[in-house]
């Protein structure tokens, strides 16, 4: 049989504990074709491809490479099948040169001849239109150069099936164009390529065929020429699911937080946030949507005083007015508003701003994994009280209260919290943050990895805070939840605000498009 398929995956199922990451997925990859694998975060795209690359071993599968059934149990097996994957997180040794990284781990005959290696690298580069200096050290390279090294590494090993996991996430538009040119060259050379992405414009631009995954299931595939972004969005997000989250409207909303021209650079000097401006009000939940890595983490951390911002950025806090229900608990500060940037978390606290923050990394940032509930309750308040000794009485009472009210399952209040399940860890963290009676409550991926009941507990807690007059900022990834939980949704795209919409009237499609297609209108609600 003349086989045009480079790879056929049939009935792939992969479970992580109870979670089914891929459920009976079948996928074909043709030679001389660029296939886009499209899906939201957590739809199982990367997991599926990791099984081709030998990172995970599937529970159920049948894989044919060039028509022959194979077993791929390790990255080595994948190489032997001619499959190479370029991961989102580069696997490179920083102090090695490009050439050294490329030959790493290869069992070639003869002695190591880096000159010959360089020559072959240059050869590959010329063939596909890359530019790379084989003798440059990786730590001196830009992200795009590192990615090139990864691609060349795979080609050097003779791969003719390439999988690229969100390759453009870290690239500038120009670099993206260059990458796409190279991909087209490789396609012309008869190589099969899979590009994992959730950016629709790129799908339209580079791929020949699109396969869509949603919540671990295979939805279908279409030729790119026969579709459009709207149809793809429908396939990707599916129909809106009704969650029945209670969403009361708070009549009196007061300006609480004003972010103006917030620009933040990462350690590497890349702009993670670029001129972000918005307002958050007491009595509403402001949802923040966006592809992961669009600047959500940087946004919350700079408001919380954990990250430095560029000059000209402002985060202004407006304390509760005397007629607000939560006013009594908060020290009134200057009515003109207080600049929060440039202050440490302690300074922010000391001027009377009660800011609650539930970070994404629960055990690495929000909690001390080796401590029990009691000791974690006092993480932000342990300084209170006179004298050098800790007061454990009120934290213990608080821990008990959180345990009772939120049904935290723990053997004891002193059991290290890292031994608790994900849901209970999150209850401890959210419980503590709410207990400090905040005026601003920020949460990052508050329900990630939680079961449905715990998720609803969290939604209800956030809504209750909103009703008290707290300004809640909810960074989320599930559009269904954002649409039903929040009052307004701010969409971040590439570190910029691509839109602010009313959650009650908007549609999933609208938000989805804002997430993927940048629009330069910094609209204010």
Partner 1 sequence: MSDQIIRLLQSSICFGTVIMYGAMGEILTEKSGNLNLGVPGIMYLGGISGLAASFFYEFNNPDPSRLVCLVISFLAAFGAAALGGLLYSFLTITLRANQNVTGLTLTIFGGGVANFFGGALNTMAGGVGQISVAATSAAYRATIPGLSGLGLVGKLFFSYGFMVYLAIVLAVVMHWYLSRTRTGLNLRAVGENPATADAAGINVTRNKYLATCLGAGISGLGGLYYTMDYIKGTWGSDGTIESLGWLAVALVIFAMWRPINAIWGSYLFGLLFWVYLVIPGLARKDIELFKMLPYLVTIAVLIVISLRKKRENQPPASLGLPYFREDR
Partner 2 sequence: MTQATQHKEPLLRIVKRDGIARPKAYAIRLIAVLLSLVVCGIFIYAITKLNPVQVYEAIFDGAFGTNRRSWVTIRDAMMLLCIGVGLAPAFKMKFWNIGAEGQILIGGVVTAGIMKAYGSALPTPALLVVMALASILCGCLWGVIPAVFKSVWNTNETLFTLMMNYVAIQITSYCVALWENPVGSNSVGIINQMTAYGHFPKLFGQTYGLNVLLVLLLTVGMYIYLKYSKQGYEIAVVGDSENTARYAGINVKKVTIRTMAISGAICGIAGFIEVAGVSHTISTNTAGGRGFTAIIVAWLAQFNTFVMILISFLLVFLQQGAIQIATQFNLNDYASEIITGIILFFILSSEFFINYRVILRNRKGADGK
Residue 511 near residue 480 (C-beta atoms within 8 A): no
Regarding 364 and contact with partner 1 (CB under 8 A), the answer is no
Q: Which stretch binds partner 1 (CB under 8 A): 96-104, 163-171, 251-259, 447-455?
A: 96-104
Residue 104 binds partner 1, judged by CB under 8 A: yes
The least distance separating partner 2 from the CB of residue 157, rounded to whole angstroms, comes to: 19
If binding is defined by CB under 8 A, does position 361 make contact with partner 1?
Answer: no
CA distance 148 to 351: 49
Closer Cβ to partner 1, 94 or 339, answer by number: 94
Report if residue 115 touches partner 1, rule: CB under 8 A.
Answer: no
Q: Which does 370 bind (CB under 5 to 8 A by kind): partner 2, partner 1, none?
A: partner 2
Torsion of CA 106, 109, 115, 119, to 10 degrees: -80
Name the token pair of 183. 């991909």
CB of 416 to partner 1, least distance (A): 18
Q: How far is the CB of 304 from partner 2 (least distance, A)?
A: 8
Write out the residues near partner 2 by the rule CB under 8 A: 16-17, 54-57, 71, 73-74, 304, 306, 344-346, 349, 357, 359, 361, 363-371, 375, 378-380, 382-383, 388-390, 392, 415-416, 419
Helical (H) or strand (E) element with 24: strand 19-30
Q: Which does 94 bind (CB under 5 to 8 A by kind): partner 1, partner 2, none?
A: partner 1
The Cα–Cα gap between 461 and 311 comes to 36
| Cα–Cα dist 101/445, whole Å | 36
CB of 371 to partner 1, least distance (A): 21
- Contact between 340 and 425 (Cβ < 8 Å): no
Smallest gap from Cβ 175 to partner 2, in A, equals 31
409 binds partner 1 (CB under 8 A): no
Nearer to partner 1, 100 or 324 (CB): 100
Q: Indicate the residue among 61 and 212 with the shorter CB distance to partner 2.
A: 61
From the list partner 2, partner 1, none, pick the one residue 331 interacts with, judged by a Cβ distance below 5 to 8 Å according to partner type: none
Q: Residue 178: name the closest of 130, 132, 143 by CA.
A: 130
- Considering only 67, 73, 76, 507, the residue that binds partner 1 (CB under 8 A) is 76
> Any idea how long the chain is?
525
**Per the structure block, which two tokens stand in for 45?**
């795209």
Alpha-carbon distance of 249 to 196, in angstroms, equals: 39
Which one, 124 or 435, has the nearer CB to partner 2? 435
The one of partner 1, partner 2, none whose footprint includes residue 112, by CB under 5 to 8 A per kind, is partner 1
Distance CA 484, CA 311 (A): 36
Binding status of residue 73 toward partner 1 by CB under 8 A: no
**Residue 105 contacts partner 1 per CB under 8 A:** yes
CA 359 to each of CA 2, 189, 365, 423, 517: distance values in angstroms, whole numbers, following the listed order: 54, 46, 7, 14, 27
**448: Cα separation from own chain's centroid:** 11
CA distance 94 to 370: 32
Residue 99 burial (CB < 10 Å; 0-12/13-18/19+)?
buried
Q: Tell me the closest approach of the beta carbon of residue 279 to partner 1, in angstroms.
A: 41
Output the smallest distance, CB 53 to partner 2, in A: 11
**Of positions 10, 30, 136, 137, contacts partner 1 by CB under 8 A:** 137
Window 16 to 45, contacts with partner 1 (CB under 8 A): none
139 binds partner 1 per the rule CB under 8 A: yes
Q: Which does 379 bind (CB under 5 to 8 A by kind): partner 2, partner 1, none?
A: partner 2
Among 91, 252, 346, 393, binds partner 1 (CB under 8 A): 91
> 355's torsion region: left (phi>0), alpha (psi -120 to 50) or beta?
beta
If we measure between CA atoms, which residue out of 305, 296, 260, 261 comes closest to residue 280? Answer: 260
Nearer to partner 1, 93 or 331 (CB): 93
Question: Does residue number 103 form part of the binding site for partner 1 (CB under 8 A)?
Answer: yes
**Judged by CB under 8 A, does residue 119 bind partner 1?**
no
Distance CA 338, CA 439 (A): 14
Least distance in angstroms from the C-beta of 285 to partner 2: 23
Least Å distance, CB 141 to partner 1, is 12
Query: How far from 42 is each of 13, 237, 428, CA to CA, in Å?
Result: 15, 12, 25
Give the one entry of partner 1, partner 2, none that residue 111 binds, where binding means its C-beta sits below a cut-off of 5 to 8 angstroms depending on kind. Answer: partner 1
CB 169 within 8 A of CB 293: yes
Residue 36: closest CA among 294, 239, 235: 235
Nearer to partner 2, 124 or 379 (CB): 379
Examine residue 145 and tell whether it contacts partner 1 (CB under 8 A): no
Give the nearest distance from C-beta 153 to partner 1 in angstroms: 9
Give the number of residues in contact with partner 1, rule: CB under 8 A: 21
**What is the number of other CB atoms lying within 10 angstroms of the CB of residue 173?**
10
> Taken in order 269, 271, 277, 282, is the CA torsion positive or negative?
negative
Are 122 and 134 spatial neighbours (Cβ–Cβ below 8 Å)?
Answer: yes
- Of 24, 60, 94, 521, the residue at the interface with partner 1 (CB under 8 A) is 94
DSSP 8-state secondary structure symbol assigned to residue 242:
P
Residues that bind partner 1 (CB under 8 A): 74-76, 79, 91-96, 100, 103-108, 111-112, 137, 139
């Amino acid at each position: 049989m003349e086989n045009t398929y480079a790879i056929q995956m049939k009935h792939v199922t992969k479970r992580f504990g109870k979670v089914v990451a891929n459920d009976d997925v079948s996928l074909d990859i043709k030679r001389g074709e660029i296939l886009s694998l499209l899906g939201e975060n957590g739809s199982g795209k990367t997991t599926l491809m990791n099984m081709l690359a030998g990172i995970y071993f599937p529970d159920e599968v049948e894989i044919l490479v060039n028509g022959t059934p194979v077993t791929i149990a390790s990255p080595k097996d994948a190489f032997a099948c001619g499959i190479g994957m370029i991961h989102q997180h580069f696997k490179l040794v920083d102090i090695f040169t490009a050439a050294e990284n490329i030959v790493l781990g290869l069992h070639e005959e003869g002695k190591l001849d880096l000159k010959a290696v360089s020559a072959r690298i240059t050869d590959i580069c010329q063939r596909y239109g890359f530019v790379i200096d084989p003798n440059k050290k990786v730590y001196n390279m830009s992200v795009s150069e590192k990615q090139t090294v990864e691609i060349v590494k795979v080609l050097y090993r003779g791969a003719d099936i390439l999988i690229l996991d969100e390759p453009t996430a870290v690239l500038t538009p120009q670099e993206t164009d260059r990458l796409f040119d190279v991909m087209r060259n490789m396609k012309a050379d008869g190589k099969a390529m899979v590009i994992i992405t959730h950016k629709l414009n790129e799908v339209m631009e580079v791929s020949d065929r699109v396969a869509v995954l949603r919540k671990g299931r295979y939805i279908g595939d279409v030729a790119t020429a026969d579709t459009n972004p709207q149809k793809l969005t429908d396939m990707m997000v599916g129909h809106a699911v009704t969650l029945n989250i209670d969403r009361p409207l708070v009549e009196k909303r007061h300006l609480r937080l004003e972010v103006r021209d917030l620009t933040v650079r990462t350690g590497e000097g890349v702009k993670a946030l670029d001129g972000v401006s918005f307002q958050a009000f007491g009595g509403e939940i402001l949802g923040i949507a966006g592809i992961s890595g669009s600047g959500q983490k940087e946004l919350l951390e700079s408001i919380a005083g954990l990250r430095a911002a560029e000059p000209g950025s402002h985060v202004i806090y407006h304390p509760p007015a005397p007629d607000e229900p939560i006013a009594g608990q908060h020290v009134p500060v200057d009515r003109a508003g207080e600049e929060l940037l440039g202050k440490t978390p302690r300074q922010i606290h000391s001027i009377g701003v009660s800011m609650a923050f539930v970070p994404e990394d629960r055990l690495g940032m929000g909690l001390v994994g080796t401590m029990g509930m009691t000791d974690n309750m006092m993480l932000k308040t342990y300084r209170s009280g006179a004298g050098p000794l800790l007061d454990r009485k009120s934290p213990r009472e608080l821990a008990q209260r959180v345990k009772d009210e939120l049904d935290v399952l723990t053997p004891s209040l002193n059991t290290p919290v890292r031994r608790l399940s994900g849901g209970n860890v999150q209850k401890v963290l959210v419980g503590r943050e709410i207990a400090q009676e905040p005026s601003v409550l920020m949460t990052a991926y508050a329900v990630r990895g939680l079961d449905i009941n715990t998720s609803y507990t969290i939604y209800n807690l956030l809504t209750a805070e909103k009703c008290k007059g707290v300004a809640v900022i909810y960074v989320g990834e599930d559009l269904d939840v954002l649409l039903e939980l929040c009052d307004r949704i701010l969409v971040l795209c590439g570190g910029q605000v691509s839109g602010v919409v009313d959650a009650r009237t908007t549609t999933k499609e609208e938000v989805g498009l804002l997430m993927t297609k940048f629009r330069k209108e910094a609209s204010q609600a």
